[in-house]
Chains A and B, each alone.
Chain A
Amino acid sequence: MDREELEYAISYPFTSKAKKVVEQTGFNLDDPPLEVLDRAKQRIEENIRGSFEPVKSSSEKILLTELFSYPVAKILASLTTDYSLIQRFSRGEAARLSRHLLNDPHRLSEIAKELGINISENQISFADYVKAAPEKYPLVNAPLKQGVIQIDDRILPEIIANTLRSKLSQELSKKINVPQVYSKQASAFKKELLSFTTEDLGPLKIEAFPPCINTLINQAKLGSPMPHQPRFVLSSFLVNTGMPTENIVRLFANTPNFNENKTRYYVEYSAGKRGSGIKYTPPSCKKMDFYSLCRNKDALCNSIHHPLSYYSRKKRDKK
């Protein structure tokens, strides 16, 4: 096998070229060798922690293991059906891609095309842009005309990486048919992989709830109407702190049109015990603000980006 081809496939494992390379090796996804499985788990862990070093090895076996770890890691991540793990995994793959693109600026449009982004003369469709707009360059500040955006070279790598992220997170959130060898061990995998994500939040400590959540709790207790969005925020937050389902259900008891069974279903749904099986986390502070649910900010709020980080931080500080 051509070494250059192999290295390309490792850097850009989602491309058609890379898939062809995998095919040529005769790798059987249904029966991955142990070292590939281990590397795949490690890959997920690295993605979650956001720390990875590119493989530098001359051993073909190590390089191949690296290549195969991508499709296997995707299956494993998807198996967990854990929303936040899938997001973090996808973000990690996007970060890996960003690094490679930094070294390969001549490959930008080729890789963009692989991800379905159409670029001609530095112009892309707004449709590709909004699906992957970098946080620092929202559409509102882009030169948008007749559906087309003249794009800056500095922004393009971020758009490409973001496109991979959103494609992966969509693909992995769908229910897939996985080879038996994975599904048989699904729960063991899930447990192992989830241990990378959850710092154990430990016993419930209500005093450490962030002000936005306290505001919602008070509203619920006072019997204010609870539209979908705040209801979802409250229930997904509480589920993640480990508050028992019944306590959460009771919290909604005063809200107008309270229906105990529906509420229980809803809470269990947020916990991933119903429906798609995906456990949800509450929205980030940014989204909370967008929905006008960020209330009574305090000093700690300025140093965190997520209501659950507020909780874990305050809990730790209180110890």
Chain B
Amino acid sequence: MNRGFILRKFREYYSKNEVKAPPQIEQREFGIGLEKKIDSRHMQFQNADKLNFYLRSAVPLYISYSAAFYEFPEARPMPNKNRTGADLIFDLDADECDVSCTHPHDEVCSDCMRQVKLETERLVNGFLKPDFGFKNDDLTIVFSGNRGFHIHVRSDIVHDFDQNARKEIVEYIGAEKIKLVHPGENRQLYGPTIQSAGWGGKIALTLYETIRSSENTKEFKKKTGLLTPAINNIFRNKTAALEAMRTGIWSKVPVSANAWDDLVKDLAGKLRVNLDKNVTMDMARLLRLPGSLHGGTGLVACEITDLHKFDAFSDPIVFGDTPCKVTPKQNKTFLLNKKEYSLEKEKSIELPEYAAIYAICKNWVNIHD
């Protein structure tokens, strides 16, 4: 009964709404899920009409498309598809973020979503634009329909990146292998300055600003959450430390190279962005198609124009508010469309259609026919 209801509603959605074709649709591989997220792949659609016709007639619960372009998207096994390029993808979801929510791991609350949104904004405004030089037009930010965001970089220069190139990029964002302090002449230690480009500048500037604005180690620790031994020496020589960050001669402060390395690593750990690096490196990955419905929530995976204003529990709602009677299978409270809904096991309740669909997709309730 649940399944029939969902399929009917999904069909209604696809009949009324045209899903936009991704760029170069004919070179993309598609995968669809009737039960799970992907239970059949290696599909191809020549144009938006064929895609929409399929969505209306087959009504999959999930549809995904490839980041990669292929000469033969339907060919199997994978190497026969002959990949000609791939978008660069970043995947941020609640799993990767440091959130201390108490709910079960596979659920998502507004706190997790706020955190993921912040991380996504940091990735765009702290890395992709200033460091990599991508422009707004190169970046498409997509809500996955459940608990995170995908950023699709569709600039021509990324298309021929191989796996190693993509690895360099995720390691940059994750600050892996960071090492900024090096010994030089006269037993001096050299590091970046507040004006350096890349990670060097991020670290030097953060250190400079935090040291300058902190009275003592305690305040510094409070601001950064760091507890490395180097900090005591820095505050004993505060003026020299600020001078070091301005000039790049870090040996002005009596801190060993190893201690600097540890401080840099710890600080980078706070400034890095957590993302699922496998998604970026896996060039055969299929991603939720923007404009399609997510079978686990009934929310639409949508392109986002203003990430800051985006509300993952309201904006992606596409269904109406006709009352629908459901019987909960468990006790549950959830937030949707700025309202809180409470379910009590076995106690039938009327929910607006969008909330009923959400709860059915989550497998929390049964629908009454």
Contact = CB atoms under 8 A, between A and B. Distances in A.
Interface of A: 125-127, 129-131, 133, 138-150, 166, 170, 265, 269, 274-276, 290
B319 to A, nearest CB: 34
Most buried by A among B131, B200, B201: B131
Nearest to A169: B162
B197 A127 contact: no
Contact of B171 (A139, A170, A265): A139
B177 interface: yes
A226 to B, nearest CB: 15
Interface in B323-355: none
A153 to B, nearest CB: 16
Contacts of A147: 131-134
A138 B134 CA distance: 20
Interface in B256-308: none
B175 interface: yes
Contact of B197 (A125, A143, A276): A143
Given A146-B133, A147-B133, A138 B196 contact: no
Interface string B139-169: 0000000000000000001101110111111
B157 to A, nearest CB: 4
B199 A131 contact: no
A138 B164 CA distance: 11
A141 B177 contact: yes
B50 interface: no
Given A138-B171, A145-B198, A147-B133, A131 B176 contact: no
A269 to B, nearest CB: 7
A140 B178 contact: yes
B7 interface: no
B161 A142 contact: no
A42 to B, nearest CB: 30
Contacts of A144: 131-132, 172, 197-199
B180 interface: yes
A265 B199 CA distance: 45
Given A133-B168, A145-B131, A127 B158 contact: yes
B79 interface: yes
22 contacts: A126-B133, A127-B165, A129-B168, A130-B164, A131-B162, A131-B165, A140-B172, A140-B175, A140-B176, A140-B198, A141-B178, A141-B180, A143-B200, A144-B197, A144-B198, A145-B131, A145-B198, A146-B130, A146-B131, A147-B131, A149-B197, A166-B164
Nearest to B78: A275
Contacts of A143: 196-198, 200-201
Nearest to B179: A141
B77 A142 contact: no
Given A145-B131, A275-B80, A166 B162 contact: yes
B133 A139 contact: no
Contacts of A269: 77
Contacts of B201: 143, 145
Contact of A142 (B158, B166, B198): B198
A22 B171 CA distance: 42
A138 B168 contact: yes
Nearest to A174: B82
A13 B175 CA distance: 38
B176 A130 contact: no
A164 to B, nearest CB: 14
A131 B158 CA distance: 10
